[in-house]
Amino acid sequence: MLVAVARALGAERVTAAHFDHRLRSSAEAARDAEAVAGVAGRLGVALLTGRAARRPVDHSEAAAREGRYRWLARASREAGVTDCITGHTLDDQAETVLLRLARGAGALGVAGMRAAAPWPVEARGARSLRVLRPLLGVTRAEVEGYLGALGLDASSDVTNDTLDYTRNRVRHEVLPALRGVNARVSEHLAEFASTQREDDDALTAIALEWLDAHAERDGERLSLPRRELRGLPVALGIRVIREAARALGVPLEAPHLRAIHASTRKSGANVDLPLARSRTSGSLLELRTSAATHRGRD
């Protein structure tokens, strides 16, 4: 589907990519790989294929996703591209919003997926890559109808039917129940996510202006005035911290951001983070990448 969409949008160069997570039988994996190769051949595009080094021990959705995006980063470098298109639909967006609400993600999380976003996992060269999701406003049924109109068969992944995965339980149990309340629940959840993104964009713009005026950077270390930061509304202060971390190339989740914000109440508070560390000292909140932290100890 994505290859057909990219062609329809006039992309000059398209490379298809297929990754085997090793979550299915060899026969099922081979069938899907053959289907992808057939579509790529029919549309005249190159195809890159990859396979997980080992079968995930716990069948974790998170582990499978990280492995997929790490491989896609390598595939993107090999293909010489910076944009990777995924097939997430409006239905996927609705599922994501419900999952994040259930996990207590808060406003930052329930903004859902963006149509254009930075690379979601750490990988070599990932900072120059983007994920594009052109189908976020299109339902799964509409995608299947479009494929039918093109004379292409939709390929179904059997793992999407098992209730062993949390997302599948939302897809097959939670959303059908909610459609009994409102048939357009998926559309409304996607609209809710869109509104949250608009609010986040507005607050982020203000946060970036504040950073320009108050932040001091020294290589892989960034300092913020703790008192002034505490004086901001919490929603704005958390976004200031998020954008400060992003400036250092460190993506942080909502729990990390809340922990750092809470640490600004006192001096000498440390928060260990993925790839970084925050520390309050005197009048400052300092963020350091892991590399800067290790050099400071030498």
Q: Which domains does the chain have, with CATH numbers?
A: 2-179 (3.40.50.620), 215-297 (3.30.465)
Q: Which amino acid is at 160?
A: N
pLDDT at 243 over 90: yes
- Residue tagged 């954008």 (tokens): 243
Q: Which amino acid is at 248?
A: L
Q: Which helix (H) or strand (E) holds 15?
A: strand 15-20
- Of 259 and 297, more confident: 259
Give the range among 4-8, 75-79, 96-100, 255-259 with minimum mean pLDDT: 4-8
pLDDT at position 157 = 72
Q: What is the pTM of this model?
A: 0.82
Mean pLDDT of 278-285: 94
pLDDT digit string, tens, across residues 179-211: 999 999 999 999 999 999 999 999 999 999 999
The three-state secondary structure class of 218 is strand
Local structure of residue 96 (DSSP, 8 states)? H
pLDDT digit string, tens, across residues 119-170: 888 788 888 899 999 999 999 999 889 888 878 777 777 777 778 788 999 9
Bridging pattern class, strands 284-289 and 130-132: unpaired
Contact of 236 with 210, CB cutoff 8 Å: yes
The three-state secondary structure class of 112 is coil
**Residue 38: pLDDT band with limits 50, 70, 90:** confident
pLDDT at 252 over 90: no
pLDDT at position 10 = 67
pLDDT at 298 over 50: no
